[in-house]
A and B are shown apart, each in its own frame.
Chain A
Amino acid sequence: MVHLQNVYKVYKNGVNALNDVTLDIAEGEFVYVIGDTGSGKSTFIKLLDGEEIPTKGIVEVNGINVGKLRFSRVPLYRRNIGVVFQDYRLLERKTVYENIAFALEVINKPKAEIRQRVREVLEIIDLTEKTKSFPTELSGGQQQRVTIGRAIANNPKLLICDEPTGNLDPERSNEIVELLERINERGTTIIMVTHDMNLVNKYRKRTIKLDYGHIVSDSKEGGYIANV
């Protein structure tokens, strides 16, 4: 599903964000990416969704060489991956329903299909009773669930989340991970960047740790042990 081969990323200002990263993530996996601030986690995410291009090495997602993707090809590629960020990035003038439908409208899905799929998504994120609410009327956790709903609206094979629980209290964070687990069970591969070691220890998954752009540990059984 995701394959990185000796990937380096040097930003224009000379920062070495990723150094010789090689890893494979299989279809259906749920993977945490952890590491101190500035260790390159977000850079890794940006390489996956085509926002950034590797300085050296190969980034392959779903058999597509993302680093070599032409500008005009990026949109089509993105339809197969969902992305969620720490800030919710919802459209305040649109309702929950409209925010999710938006993701399908802008890729020209037929209206009937949109209606049906948004219903399904609302079920998955458990917000059917908030369909007509506006983002400002929702709690942080609910807003993040809408963002996740929007990210999975087009049934992506891969869902990448950059600190999705960064702004949430432990209870809401748990709900988010449990939601991601449910999405994972339906076959979507999940990569989640997080700082929250409680989550990593509670919901055990494969955990990749970055430090100064290097992979310093990659543990299948997961859980966080200090000073690895």
Chain B
Amino acid sequence: MFRLIGRHFKEAFQGIFRHFGMAVSCVMAMTFMLLLVSFLTLLIGNVTQITRTLEDDIKVFVKIDSYVEEDKIDTLKGRVEQVSGVKSVEYSDKDQELDRFIEGFGEDGKLFEIFREDNPLSRAFIVEIENGYSISEVSRSIARVDGLKGVDFGGTTTEEFIEVLNSIRKGGYVVVLALTLLAIFLISNTIKITIYNRNREIGIMRQVGASNSYIRQPFVIEGIFLGLIGAIIPVLTSIFGYKALYDTWDGQLISGMLSLQPVNPFAYQVSAFLLLIAVVIGFVGSFISVNKYLRWSR
């Protein structure tokens, strides 16, 4: 068994050395693509984190109509909780609303203490939205519940910003996928050349009945190996480059409002992802190539 695996490894390395120039250019292109993937993955990871922070901060304030009696509040709260996308609902009575109002004005807010006796504010629910739901949509659904006056979610700018982040993230996924497919194509082309170099040998193997998987193995090892070598620089970049960036910005964006993913574990997770994707690319690329060849000459 080990003898066999050893043989396949030996052949895989021989394959690489036999067409060294080709292998080098393949690895270089692979490195470039994985660098892009690394950059995008780092970006996506942080965008996801920022989106989540923003979403966590978003609270929707729902004013309760004054005709709703005190003992109906709980039923009403229950109904708001039922709305899909609502994570939690907190009741805030007139006094608390005034506190909030006064707080909002800072030092000058004290002036409004005069309203404490005859409070003109409405009672309200403070609603937290589940991550991933559109805030405006959930707000609209809440507004349809009877007994509520108005729905107010801290402005549309945050939501628009979240939308932008979501598009960045989705775009990032698409590009990563496209790069992966491109890399698979690249590996499969390189392996194709190795296959043609060993045309005669494969022909004989087929003639005497070597199994398809036996024939495939050295090529798959070579493909995975090329992928992994191509991942070295991107992995180092994502660890040290990200660390440098993180240190430069002190781990924060927009003067401390948003924080970046910490180097540990994030950069290591990205590295693991890069290695995984390199293996997958190497495996799939070479597998496709060998299978095409084997099927072409039955």
Give A contacts to B, CB under 8 Å. 49-53, 71-72, 74-80, 82-83, 89, 91, 102-103, 106-108, 111, 150-151, 153-154
Contacts and interface: CB of A to CB of B under 8 A. Distances in A.
A83 B207 contact: yes
B240 interface: no
B298 A76 contact: no
Contact of B212 (A49, A72, A102, A111): A72
A107 B204 contact: no
B206 interface: yes
B206 A75 contact: yes
Interface in B212-251: 212, 214-215
Given A49-B207, A106-B208, A108-B4, 12 more contacts: A51-B297, A53-B298, A71-B212, A75-B211, A78-B206, A78-B207, A79-B209, A89-B200, A89-B204, A91-B201, A102-B204, A107-B214
20 contacts: A50-B298, A51-B298, A53-B298, A71-B212, A71-B294, A75-B209, A76-B211, A79-B208, A79-B209, A89-B200, A91-B200, A91-B201, A102-B208, A103-B204, A103-B208, A106-B215, A107-B210, A108-B214, A154-B208, A154-B209
B209 A52 contact: no
B203 interface: yes
Nearest to B211: A75
Contacts of A72: 212
Nearest to A74: B298
Chain B residues touching A, range: 20 to 34
A76 B205 CA distance: 12
Nearest to B4: A108
B72 interface: no
Nearest to A53: B298
B298 A71 contact: yes
A111 B294 CA distance: 27
Contacts of B211: 75-76, 107
Nearest to A79: B209
